[in-house]
Structures are given as C-alpha cells and as structure tokens.
C-alpha cells in the first residue's frame, strides 16, 4: 500500500501456534485474514528455541508470573509455528477481532478461537498446560512493530499490491 494516503495501514504479527499445525487448521485460519483484505507481507515456519521465546515473550514473566511464562514458552517450543506479518487498514485491531478472546471459552462464535479452540482457563490451570488457543496476535501497534521486526528482517517483508487494494484504495 505504498502509494495510498494515510488510511491507518499498519503491520501486525500473527503466530499460528503448534496446536494449529497439529490440527491442520493453518489454511482455514489464514483464509480468515485474507478474507478481510489483510495482506501477507511476510511468512515463515520455525521452531522457537528458548532464547527466541525469551525475546518474543520478554515481558510475559513480569506481567503474568514465572509459571505462566514457563508454561507458555514450553508450549511454543513443542512444535513448529508459522509466523505471518500481515498488513492492512487497522490490522492490529482487525486481527484481534478475528481471533477472539484469549480464553477460547470466552471467545465469540465466528472468531478463530470461538470456532476452533475449546480449552477453558480453568482447565488450563488444573492441567498446568498452556491455553491452547491456536494463535498469537500482537496486542497493540507498538507491540506489533516490535514483533514484526523481531520475526522478519527487511528482506523478508514484501511489497506488492493486491486486487483488494486496487479496488478499495
């Protein structure tokens, strides 16, 4: 969207977590983002090691405690993840709306978590396992900038114009 006026175009990060991949839901979830004119400008699959998990979740331990950090980091290292850098008008808020509430049992039907994830906060606490909620998404614009830059260097982000951009902007 290089030649468009300031329409609130921004980038955000989405991680398709290990539970998305083992359940074969990656394509169905990615389609939801493309359906609302979010453009994939970067994509990669990788295993997060402990050092990278610490960089990604640098403040989780402070915000939520060591137990939640350790559980989350271990889960994110349990299998590969797909990282997406998405771009579009109000991308951060749009993605957050599409994925739904952090806890699947609180997520509305029609959201990714409401439709595909079914674990409750209580069941996570009892089992001691991370909340399997399929996706991570940046929480705000500042976090999005940090996360996109952490996961993708400049050569891994692409500029191109989609048909939706040509028609809408």
Q: Please state, in angstroms and rounded to a whole number, the distance separating the CA atoms of residues 123 and 74.
A: 17
Q: Identify the residue whose tokens are 């991570």.
A: 136
Give strand pairing partners of 40: 86
- To the query of whether residue 56 is one of the catalytic residues in this protein, the response is no
Question: What is the CA angle 56-61-65, rounded to 5?
Answer: 150
Given 47, 56, 118, 136, which residue is catalytic?
Answer: 136
Number of residues assigned to the chain: 169
**Residues annotated as part of the active site:** 136
């Amino acid at each position: 969207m290089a030649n468009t006026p300031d329409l609130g175009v921004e980038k955000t990060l989405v991680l398709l977590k290990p539970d998305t991949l083992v359940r074969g839901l990656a394509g169905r979830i990615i389609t939801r983002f493309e359906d609302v004119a979010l453009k994939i400008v970067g994509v990669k699959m990788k295993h997060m090691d402990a050092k990278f998990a610490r960089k990604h979740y640098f403040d989780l331990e402070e915000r939520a405690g060591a137990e939640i950090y350790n559980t989350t980091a271990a889960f994110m290292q349990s299998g590969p993840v797909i990282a997406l850098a998405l771009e579009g008008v109000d991308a951060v808020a749009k993605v957050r709306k599409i994925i739904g509430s952090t806890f699947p049992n609180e997520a509305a039907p029609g959201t990714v978590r409401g439709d595909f994830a079914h674990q409750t906060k209580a069941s996570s606490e009892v089992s001691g396992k991370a909340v399997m909620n399929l996706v991570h998404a940046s929480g705000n614009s500042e976090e999005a900038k940090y996360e996109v830059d952490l996961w993708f260097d400049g050569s891994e982000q692409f500029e191109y114009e989609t048909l939706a951009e040509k028609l809408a902007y």
